[in-house]
Homo-oligomer: A and B are copies of this chain.
Amino acid sequence: MTTPATVRMSLDEVRALALRVLLAVGLAPDHAAAVAQTMVAGERDGCTSHGLYRLLVAARSVAMGIAVPDAVPLVEEPATALVRVDGRGGFAQLPFETGRTLLVHKAKRCGIAAMALTNVVHFAALWPEVEALAEEGLAVLAMTPSHAWVAPEGGTKPVFGTNPIAFGWPRPGKAPFVFDLATSAIARGDIELHRRAGKPVPDHWGYDADGNVTTDAAAVLEGAMRTFGGHKGSALSAMVELLGGPLIGDMTSLESLALDNGRKGSPIGGELIIAIDPQGFMGELMADRFAAAEAMFAAIEGQGARLPSSRRHAARARSLAEGVDIPQALLDDIQALLEQA
């Protein structure tokens, strides 16, 4: 008798499992609910690297003392159009949920508003956040530094994090247009997968610790990754560092990695979210201008090119109808976590 490779689960079952594990490893209930929500979103949309797999990462962060499992986020209003949520060392999801309503309120009242999440542990994607805000009718831009893993173009020593930029645009009657892209050439997890599989990486992914081009995945992980798009991607990565770090009173990726002190934990630091109410500038042109945006999307899809969120949306429709297939090996690892807890 062979063990089945995957187990079909409903999204409710995914959520229940995530909650059980997160509570068992010591997360406070409100943190557990917020973190579980992003894992359900990951599995639902086919982003399995941000799904239940992240339970192992979260458990390790709590066990190592990297994330404060019961941190109570502190909301402040440093200015009329600014919200700051001090995460006090906990995971980022609950601080986001805690400040979200105030951010929406300020964006709608002022036309534009920004929320800073500070002192939070990041181990999830940004797209669930920008999608949630776009679903409330806002145009949203979010960014966060991470650990100094990525060399600036023209250099070979790490300075930047993988520094994602995420964007959301509301589409009347449809799921929002959303993208979430690392400014590194490739996700760090992809290099890690190559290392585990003993496979060489393309020679434009990074450098070894001596600054030489290499196809050895382990050497890139110890050396430096590269940005996407040459000097342009490098410039954008610097912008993410500045806006998601010092601007909001938080750390650069260099500082975050120094604080980590070799523990190889999830990045600690900040995140900036800018939300704009289309009503502000569009006024009475709302319907007409949203139609112009739709015409642009149609011009992209009409020639067979994909919108960034289309793959996720297709996976979502499948998952809602049929559930998701979770690898048995992952479930075994999760079961082991529960038994240790």
Report A's interface with B, CB cutoff 8 A: 78-82, 84, 109-114, 116, 139, 141, 151-157, 159, 165, 167, 169, 177, 179, 181, 183, 228-236, 238-239, 241-243, 245-249, 251-252, 254-255, 274, 276-278, 280-283, 285, 289-290, 292-293, 295-296, 299-300, 303-306, 308
Chain B residues with CB under 8 A of A304: 154-155
Copies assembled: 2
B110 & A167 in contact (Cβ 8 Å cutoff): no
Cβ contacts A to B, 9 pairs, < 8 Å: A81-B81, A110-B110, A155-B304, A229-B232, A235-B308, A242-B296, A243-B276, A249-B283, A252-B295
* Whole-angstrom CA separation of A169 from B306 in the bound complex: 34
Interface SS, A side:
mixed
* Whole-angstrom CA separation of A182 from B304 in the bound complex: 24
* Whole-angstrom CA separation of A112 from B276 in the bound complex: 11
Chain B residues with CB under 8 A of A80: 80-81, 109-111
Closest to A255 in B: B292
Whether A246 touches B81, Cβ cut-off 8 Å, given contacts A228-B232, A304-B155, is: no
A135 to chain B, nearest CB (A): 16
